[in-house]
Amino acid sequence: MSALRVIFADDEEMARLRLRRLLEAIEGVVIVGEAKSGRDALTLLEDLDVDVALFDVRMGLVSGLDAAERAADLGVEVIMTTAHRDHAVEAYAHGAIDYLLKPLEAARLSQAIERARARVTRSATATDASAPPPTARLPCARLPLEVRGEIHLVPAGSITHAVLEETLVRLYIAGSEPILTELSLTDLERRLPHLVRSHRRALVAIDHVTKLRPLPTGGYDAILHDGHEVPVSRQSARELRRRLGL
């Protein structure tokens, strides 16, 4: 059983201490980050390879609900932890899979974590099963993209990487300015065989990678010819190394 990588955020120090103790007592859980505000939680989501996030609802300017919505966009399972009963419906609407009331009980937290673990496992299995083999992926010489009402035909081989930013994907093109597109990373992955998934929020063209810089998380920063850096998650690192013949 692979370890479940967990982050949590709460603006109360005692609440964070208690949650840390409870999480450390659950087998197969590794705490990779802790935050005391919603803004810090968003930073953790962007910087770390995370499976599950636990957020308090009320955490200042950026609430736990805001952080939950972003986490759900990135494919992270979210559990809300709060002393307030009246945000449950809103929490589920923002992508939470469970809603725990403080003071947290060990058994109830463990139940929520196992529910998240099951979803993470199913998601990984479904991704592996649905990924088409390289021979089944349709080559695309030029990718049509709508930009300010015009259709740009972008040479597929010139696309170096793609990164999810908020709700849109930014495509990086060798020798040209990046382009924002409403196409999802999954759409691009299927249409452009030279792009491989390097992270929940990124694709990269292996031919444009010049160096892999190891990270403490077990992943890499992929350094491209043009100096751009693309995150490579721990889960994607093995596949990327295999494709590079390492």
> In this predicted structure, what is the pLDDT of residue 127?
47
* Confidence band of 124 (pLDDT split at 50, 70, 90): low
> In this predicted structure, what is the pLDDT of residue 134?
44
pLDDT digits (tens, 9 = 90+) for 60-99: 777 888 888 888 777 789 999 988 888 888 888 888 899 9
> In this predicted structure, what is the pLDDT of residue 168?
85
> In this predicted structure, what is the pLDDT of residue 20?
96
Residue 103: CA count within 13 A, CB half-sphere: 5
Domains 4-129 and 134-243 share a fold: no
Was domain 134-243 assigned CATH 2.40.160.210?
no
Beta strands in the chain (DSSP E): 4-9, 29-35, 52-55, 77-82, 96-101, 142-147, 150-155, 159-165, 168-173, 179-181, 195-199, 202-205, 209-214, 220-224, 229-232
**Which residues, at least 6 apart from 230, have a Cβ–Cβ distance to it below 8 Å?**
161, 163, 198, 199, 202, 204, 209, 221, 222, 224
pLDDT digits (tens, 9 = 90+) for 10-50: 999 999 999 999 999 999 999 999 999 988 998 888 778 88
- β-strand 29-35 against 77-82: which pairing, if any? unpaired
* Confidence band of 140 (pLDDT split at 50, 70, 90): low
Which of 3.40.50.10860, 3.30.300.180, 3.40.50.2300, 3.30.9.10 would CATH assign to domain 4-129? Answer: 3.40.50.2300
| Whether the predicted pLDDT of 135 surpasses 50 | no
Cα–Cα distance measured from residue 245 to residue 114, given in angstroms and rounded to the nearest whole number: 36
> In this predicted structure, what is the pLDDT of residue 46?
76
Whole-structure pTM value: 0.59
> In this predicted structure, what is the pLDDT of residue 1?
54
Least confident range of 3-12, 204-213, 215-224: 215-224
> In this predicted structure, what is the pLDDT of residue 142?
82
Nearest to 205 by CA among 235, 141, 140, 161: 161
Cα–Cα distance measured from residue 76 to residue 117, given in angstroms and rounded to the nearest whole number: 11
Least confident range of 2-16, 182-196, 229-243: 229-243
Domain boundaries, the chain: 4-129, 134-243
* Confidence band of 246 (pLDDT split at 50, 70, 90): confident
Cα–Cα distance measured from residue 220 to residue 95, given in angstroms and rounded to the nearest whole number: 28
pLDDT digits (tens, 9 = 90+) for 141-160: 788 888 777 888 888 889 99
